[in-house]
Structures are given as structure tokens and as C-alpha cells.
């Protein structure tokens, strides 16, 4: 019985280790890893704003601070979409490179929406802030739908 438990435990560990997740980005300069990290940094500023709206805890000063952080981070990922960076662990679709005008338009839409967000960041009017935040969210969702696998 003890051997069976030990064998099952060993088998479980082996199976779980085989599901070790995504491969690392071992390419020179790690462009995929850098762009993914840059998007995560953007999300660290953007998601707390959404939490404020979903929980009814809008804080104008915090919203302004998070908007400043978002604006400081919004440029970081784009230079890492190099021509030869469609390899695991990327979640980008081939359309990023096969439809460059469409991808550039999505990026411009994101910039325009974040500019509008920055323009209202000092407001104490929750509806105005939420509308600007929602416009940014819409650009993110659209880009993910068109250019991201998951």
C-alpha cells in the first residue's frame, strides 16, 4: 500500500511538472518576454481603475495617480513587436505582422483613448472618468480580439 501511494505521488509530480507552462523566451534580447512584461505593467495601472468602478469605490486622486502611471507605461510594449517575434511564448496572432496597417490603427486608437483618459484624470465626476476608462478598455479588448490568441 505504501508503494502504491509513493508511486501515485511520484506519477502526480511527474505529470504536473510536464505541464510546466510556457517555454521561456530564450531569443536574443527576449523581445516577447519584454513586451509581455510591459503589458503587465500597463495592466497594473489600468485594472485598479476598473476595480474602482465595479466596486463603487471611485477615488479621484487615486484615479489620477493610476492614469499617470498608465501614461508613463503605455509606450513600452510596442517596440518589441519585431518581425521575427511570433514564437512561443508569444500569444500574438500572425495578423500583427500580416495586417500592419490594422495593427497600427489599433495602437493609434489606444493612444487616442489614453490621451482622452489623461485629459479627464483630474475629474471628480465618476461618470466622466468611467466613460474615458471604458473607451480605453474597448480599445484593449478590440486589439486582443484581433491580434491575440488568448
pLDDT single digits (tens) 27-37: 999 999 999 99
**Prediction pTM value:** 0.84
pLDDT single digits (tens) 39-91: 999 999 999 999 999 999 999 999 999 999 999 999 999 999 999 999 999 99
Whether 48 is covered by a domain: the verdict is yes
Whether 77 is covered by a domain: the verdict is yes
Give the CATH number of the domain where residue 138 resides. 1.20.120.10
Whether 13 is covered by a domain: the verdict is no
Q: In sequence order, which ranges of the chain are alpha helices (DSSP H)?
A: 2-18, 31-55, 60-73, 95-98, 100-120, 126-147
Number of structural domains found in the chain: 1
Domain of residue 43, residue span: 30-147
Amino acid at each position: 500500500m505504501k508503494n502504491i501511494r509513493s508511486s501515485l505521488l511520484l506519477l502526480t509530480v511527474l505529470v504536473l511538472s510536464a505541464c510546466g507552462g510556457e517555454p521561456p523566451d530564450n531569443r536574443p534580447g527576449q523581445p516577447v518576454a519584454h513586451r509581455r512584461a510591459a503589458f503587465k505593467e500597463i495592466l497594473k495601472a489600468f485594472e485598479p481603475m476598473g476595480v474602482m468602478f465595479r466596486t463603487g469605490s471611485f477615488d479621484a486622486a487615486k484615479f489620477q495617480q493610476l492614469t499617470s502611471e498608465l501614461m508613463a507605461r503605455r509606450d513600452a510594449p510596442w517596440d518589441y513587436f519585431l518581425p521575427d517575434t511570433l514564437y512561443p511564448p508569444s500569444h500574438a496572432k500572425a495578423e500583427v505582422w500580416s495586417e500592419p496597417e490594422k495593427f497600427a490603427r489599433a495602437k493609434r486608437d489606444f493612444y487616442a483613448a489614453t490621451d482622452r483618459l489623461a485629459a479627464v484624470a483630474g475629474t471628480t465626476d465618476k461618470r466622466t472618468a468611467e466613460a474615458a476608462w471604458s473607451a480605453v478598455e474597448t480599445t484593449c479588448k478590440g486589439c486582443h480580439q484581433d491580434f491575440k490568441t488568448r
